[in-house]
Structure 1
């Protein structure tokens, strides 16, 4: 009779199972248990979304995400969706997506082309844009420890606000 603590046959483990286990080990358990994923609006027109953010004296926050990414889901659920609901202009660009978006130059491109143009290779990546679509704060790349994600995010938001006031 197998022990309750024994691991399943390793050949039966799929990549997703390994990511879930890694997420649990890093303390993402509550978010993984929460299957109803928080969502963000997909980027459609970066000039329009930037104009909305700048009207609020904020940088435009763009989350570059990847379908199925556990760390992306955690960042959306714990931090970005609540900020969006509170009025911060945040949009999502999906790596590998063929969804159309108007870039800062007014050109119609896909989400994937945009992520490549920005040289984003890690999900999640948060970018903070100011006037003329220029980055105004250091990027947040990858999954941070859950206890530190919020403070790092607030630091980047503050960098963006300072950059906007100095213009």
Structure 2
């Protein structure tokens, strides 16, 4: 799976991601909101999935209601996890779009809860993170909505897309749209993101002000 550097290159690097980003202080002043902390020190959202940690069941529940399934992996004390919650998830467009179209399960990079992967293997959260080659927090792993696409596979083999590390709200939101619209089937996120930026430019809109 892609490293963060490879992902940035795939997404177009400075040509795409930077124009779509806003200086952090500018976003924080407009959108930041304190996020609730769980007992293990992770920032949480009230719309996150309350789960028995069987990924096949969680995926099936989401699919039955027409939503995609995603797993967000975070850790205590991670400043980029905090920014994801207090900036990205607090953005009105993001806050409206994601819960309507995705079921998201939060896992702890160092956690010991037992999780059942799509291939039936039961292992601790931290072991699952290693199995999936998660190297950054936050990392969001997205899955196809089709049950046949995940059945019997590990999450790493079944994933449709991955967002490794922190990205500003515009790029962040486009990844969710890329997955929800199932563009991963015949396109790349690099192309999708470039097209969205070009559309905004044609309308005289600045992605940096999104």
The alpha-carbon distance between structure 1 residues 111 and 160, as it changes in their structure 2 partners (threshold 3 A), is farther
Gapped runs of 5+ residues in structure 2? 1-22, 37-42, 187-210
Q: Given the alignment, which residue of 106, 109, 129 partners 2:120? A: 106
Q: Which residue of the partner structure matches residue 140 of structure 1?
A: 163
CA deviation after TM superposition for structure 1 residue 71, in Å: 2.4
Q: 2:49 aligns with which of 17, 22, 41?
A: 41
How far, CA to CA, are the matches of 1:28 and 1:83 in structure 2?
A: 20
CA gap 1:128/1:87 in 2 versus in 1, 3 angstroms: closer
CA contact under 8 A between 1:61 and 1:127: conserved in structure 2? yes
What CA distance in whole angstroms lies between the structure 2 residues aligned with 1:42 and 1:96? 19
The answer to whether the aligner puts 1:121 opposite 2:135 as a matched pair is yes
Note the C-alpha offset of 1:82.
6.6
1:158 and 1:140 map into 2 onto residues whose CA distance is: 16
Q: For residues 123 and 29 of structure 1, do their structure 2 counterparts lie closer, same or farther at Cα, with a shift above 3 Å needed?
A: farther
Q: Which moved more, 1:69-78 or 1:110-119?
A: 69-78
| CA-to-aligned-CA distance 1:66-113 (integer Å, 9 cap, x gap) | 2222322333433479723x3622111110111111121223211111
* Aligned residue pairs, count: 140
Report which stretch shifted further, 129-138 or 61-70.
129-138
**Partner of 1:70 in structure 2?**
79
Larger radius of gyration: 1
Give the distance between the partners of 1:73 and 1:161, measured in 2 at CA: 28
C-alpha root-mean-square deviation of aligned residues, in Å? Answer: 3.1
The structure 2 residue matched to 1:152, chosen from 175, 183, 188, is 175
Q: Tell me the TM-score normalised to structure 2 length.
A: 0.54
Structure-1-length-normalised TM-score = 0.66
